[in-house]
Structure formats: structure tokens, C-alpha cells
Structure 1
């Protein structure tokens, strides 16, 4: 009799456990399954911004964010295949084209920082302190000093190509990727690592630079030219084009980024007292 009683208690315990799993565990599992995919640039990831922002958004909404960090061109291609719910990048002409082609209903500005040219302390091209980025690039080319390009169709790479054009130079064509100009086809971190190893120059976004630890002898040499302005925009991928897009949760993330709370979270992110990004969701024309 005692043995039957023990068995009975075990059976009841198991039944209770199953009930708890059914009633209590399932909602938890569903909460974990509630996520959106954001195709974004390497700079938002490498700068540490997402690590600062995303926990606050998830705590407020219960929506997890899975980031696929690529160069802007690759991130846009990912979104164009419907493999992301939200696109968050930094090349306005490409973003506007993305909207014009029907892949998003609208683009919203979020924040900005700037690009800088970093280089070695010995500065063989003599560009330190220059406020004219085109002139500085011309000096680097004339000196045939090592310049490391991302070469990956990222927003930073697109900006770099535009700056070379402003300097009336096309080093990639002239050098065919050899010699002093080195296009490595990788992200910002590897580009800076290579520049440090070669004691060369590179164009970097300030956010990634401030979070970059392996600087070697590199420092910021050129900054302050208005052509180095770097704007970021966010878009919900079109649910009309891709019905599987998590439109409601994706829109929640877009809305949070441009809300007072999201903008404050961006402004609050600093390294060693320096801001990496500056919110400007409410500024017209950016």
C-alpha cells in the first residue's frame, strides 16, 4: 500500500510538471521566439552601439533583435531578398533607391557621425591637420603611401570612392588593386588592422575607430571636412513585397529608434566620454 502511495505521488508530480511546462513554459518559449532580423552595417555592430541599444528595446517590447552585420551594399542585397525585417544602413542614395524600387515604404533618418582619415605617426604624405579631405587624398596618392580600402561595397567604401572622385583620382583603376592602394574586401576592423600593420592610411567611421583597440601607431590625421558627414537611415522592409516580413514588430523597432527614448539611448552611448553617434531623427533633409 505504501509503495502504491509513493508511485501515486510520483505520477501526480510528473503530471504537475507537464502541466507547468504546458502553462508556464510555452509562453516563455514563444517570447524567446519573438524576434526580428535587422540587416545593418558593420559600423553599428563594431562600434558597440547595438550592444548598448538592443537590451533596452527588448526590455520595453519583448522583441529580440537578431542583427546581420554586413557592409551597406550587402545589407541592402539581403533586404532585397526579403531576408530581413528592417534595414539600418548609412548610404543615403542607396537607401532612397531602395525605397524608390518599392522595397520599403519610407526611409527615416536616425543618427549621424563622421568619417576620419587615420594614418601613421610618421605621416609620409604630410596630411595631419588637413581640413580638406580631397587634398589629403591627393597627397597620399602622390606619395604612394599605403592606403587600405575596405573594397567591400559598404557605406564606408562608397563614401571613400566618392571622396577619391572629389580629388579627381581613381586609385583602384590606376593601380589595379596593387601597389600602394590595397582594397581588401573586408570590414572596418580588418581594414584598420591591415592599416596598422602596414603603417598605412584608411578611411574609417568615427564610431568604429573609437571602439577599435588594435590601433598600433595609427591616429586620426584628417577630420572636420563637411564631406566626411556620415548619415544613417532605417527602413521597414516592405511586407507588401515580402508577406513574411514581421511588419508590426519591425515597425516597433523603427519607431523606437526615432522616438525620444531611442534617440536618447543613442546620444548616451559614449566611449571615454566621447559620443560615437548623434541622434537627428527630427532634422529635415538628412
Structure 2
């Protein structure tokens, strides 16, 4: 589900950005890119996941450490009715608690300045591009560059404009990270396996209770529902939620209507 996770994180980032005061392309796009990328982070607990293979042995080692920690946490906190499991995949990193914790950490690092914000946003972008394609990096750089140059005040250098854009999202980079991780959990809750994102809240004797849809609505990871329905809908949403995209579609529709009426 890597592609779907990244696209859902991108869509949520675009939708939430205006709610936290981010409106320009230079602010919204890095915010959404971070959300898209960090929507892949929970799967670091799986050795074959895109995030685990991003930097070869480096992220592979991180993945192994996370799996070990997750297994230990599961053994220490499982309830009387929790299943007999290794507790490695879809456990520790697939919780609301983990999303909040990493979000708070990212926010504290973001408070240290523009370079920390850039590093966090760039990491998210690389993660997303690893799944969605390198074109995403070019698209993001083009969008940000166009916005920075086009909105720079007279007498303001491009570097100053870039710094202003990074400062604008610095206070919310933690939100982007937490949103991305939680979006992943919600996505997994749509599948047959579910996701225990309410840990450690005990439900029916389980502290790792898998939240999931009613049985008829669940779909298989990587199945036709995801490939034919969900992924295309997320892709369309990811375009229409871009700043100014809906207005451009409306203008195109109006222009087309006027042209057809005049024939």
C-alpha cells in the first residue's frame, strides 16, 4: 500500500494546510510533501517496505531496531485476549501514540531553525518520491521556486524568500509528520488486517485491538480495490487540492461553457 499511503498523506496535507494558516504554494507543497513521506514511516517495521529500503543498510538497520523494540513492547503490554504474535509489523509504529511522539520530536527540531525544517521536509519528500517517482521532486522544486520568485517583495533576495517560506511551515512541521503517520494508520484500518492505533487503550481484553471496517467493506492490501478505485481517487484528489487548482478547473469549465454557447 505504499503508493496509496503516500497519496493519502499528500491529500491530507493539502487539505489541512489552510486550516493551520498555510496558503501559498511555497508553504503548502513542502507541508504536503512531508505529510506524504511520513505516511510511509510506520512501515519501517517491515524489512521489505519502501521506507526500510530507502537508504539500503542504513534504513535496514533502523528497521531491524524498530522491529525488535516493537516485539518487546508487544510482549510487555499485550492484554489477556491479544493474539499470539511477534508484535513486530503493524504494532508499535502503527499507533496514534507513535504519531504524536514523532510529531512532537519533529516540532522540537523544527524550532531550531530553517535548516532543521528543510531536513525534515526533504526527508519526507525523498520518502514520497521513492514510492511515487522522481518526478515529484522536480514538481515540488518547480512549484516552490515559481512561488518564491513570484511572491518575493522588491529588494528581497531569493534566499530571503526561501527562508521566509521555511519559517512559515517551521511551526507546523510536527503536525505534518504526525498527520502523515496517522493517515497511514487510518489507511491500514480499511484493510482486512486492521490497525491497533488506539494502543494502549484496552478494548475487549486487548491492548493491541485492531481497528477495522465492517467485514464487507474491508479490502485486501494491494488488491483490485486499492489499485483500481482508491489509488486513482487519491491521485485526482492530490491534484484538485493543490492551491488554485479548483479555481482553475472552474475557470476552464466557465470558458468552455461560454465557447460552446457561442457556437
Q: If the length of structure 2 is used for normalisation, what is the TM-score?
A: 0.24
